[in-house]
Each structure stands twice: as structure tokens, then as C-alpha cells.
Copies of this chain bind each other. A is one copy, B any other.
């Protein structure tokens, strides 16, 4: 996969996540500056975490100023259009799903390109995909969505990361297959939301407390 393609997918993922952050900023009653900051945290946070762990020079978001365009544009678009949207809250998750689908692919590929073993690369792909959203929710002072037991969030990212690693090892990775993998993760995530698929609870006990976002 040429580096430019990885950059395009990564920037696209940043933009999706940044929009989800700016939409959450609207829902929480933040101002425009907070919208840019929350968009940056979720759009750039997962990638910065990934690059810190890869430990190969400063994170891409800092060495390449083009990354800053994503949260700035996202905050501007949300500012201009959010008033016309009936329920802003409903759009957070679809944009979040787009970011998740792209970041689990690009995170895994960047780790494989850096020479990590496949298990670590898949783990880093999931961390990249899930990390930004965890930072966003922790900062907005609520339990991260990834822990909601009425939803599957990390499983699509895990499947996407495994698919990306598989395509990479088979040498089949290119723009078409990479985009198909991302589209499959996105579709799976949206189906999960639509049909409320979920995993078993963390214990078989009959006395498990009810989950609250807090």
C-alpha cells in the first residue's frame, strides 16, 4: 500500500472522528473552541497514541500540519449545519463508525509497516480505532461508549484489523481491497447499532448491576 493511500485513509478517518467530536461538543453545550479541541482529541488522539507506541519520531499529527485541517473543518461544518439537523446526537455514532472503520485498517497497516508482529499490529489497530473515542468520552466525563453492554464496538474494529493484517500478508492490499475492508467494518458497525447485537455480560451471575453512562 503506497504511503499516500494510507495518508488519505488516515485523514478520512480523522475527519469522521473529528465530526463525531464536534457533534458531541454541540450536545454538551461547548463553544467553538471546545468543538475544535474535542474534534482534535478524538480525530488525532487515536493516531497520536498509535505513533507514541510505535516510537518512531514525533506523531504524524504533529509532523504533518495537514492533519490539523480535519478538526478545523469539522468544527466549521458542524457549526454551520448543526442548526438544521433535527437531532445532532443521532449523527455522532455513524461518523464515529466511519472513523472506527478507517482507523482499524490504517493503524494495523502502520504497525505492520513498522515491523511489528501480527498480534501486536492487530492490537495496535484496535487501540488506534478505539483510543480516540475513549479519550473523547473520558474528556466529556462519561463512560466510554466501547463499554456499553447493549452494543458491540470493539469487535468490528478487531475484525477489520485482522482483515487488514490478512490482506497485508497475502499481498492483496490495495486501494480497492482496503476500502472494501473498511466498508465491511462500517456496515457491521451500523448493523450492530440497528439490531442491538451485543456480547454476553462480564459474569454469569444473576445479580449484575445495570449499566449507566454516568
- Cα-based distance from A79 to B202 in the complex (angstroms): 5
- Cα-based distance from A29 to B138 in the complex (angstroms): 18
Q: A58 contacts B59, CB within 8 Å?
A: no
Q: A202 contacts B116, CB within 8 Å?
A: no
Q: B65 contacts A33, CB within 8 Å?
A: no
Size class of the contact patch on chain A:
35 or more
Q: How many copies make up the complex?
A: 3
Residues from 159 to 207 in A contacting B, C-beta threshold 8 Å = 198-206
Residues from 23 to 37 in A contacting B, C-beta threshold 8 Å = 25-35, 37
Query: Which A residues form the contact surface with B (CB < 8 A)?
Result: 22, 25-35, 37-38, 48, 52-59, 62-63, 65, 68, 75, 78-80, 82-83, 85, 88, 116-117, 119-120, 123-124, 130, 134, 138-144, 146-149, 152-155, 198-206, 208-212, 214
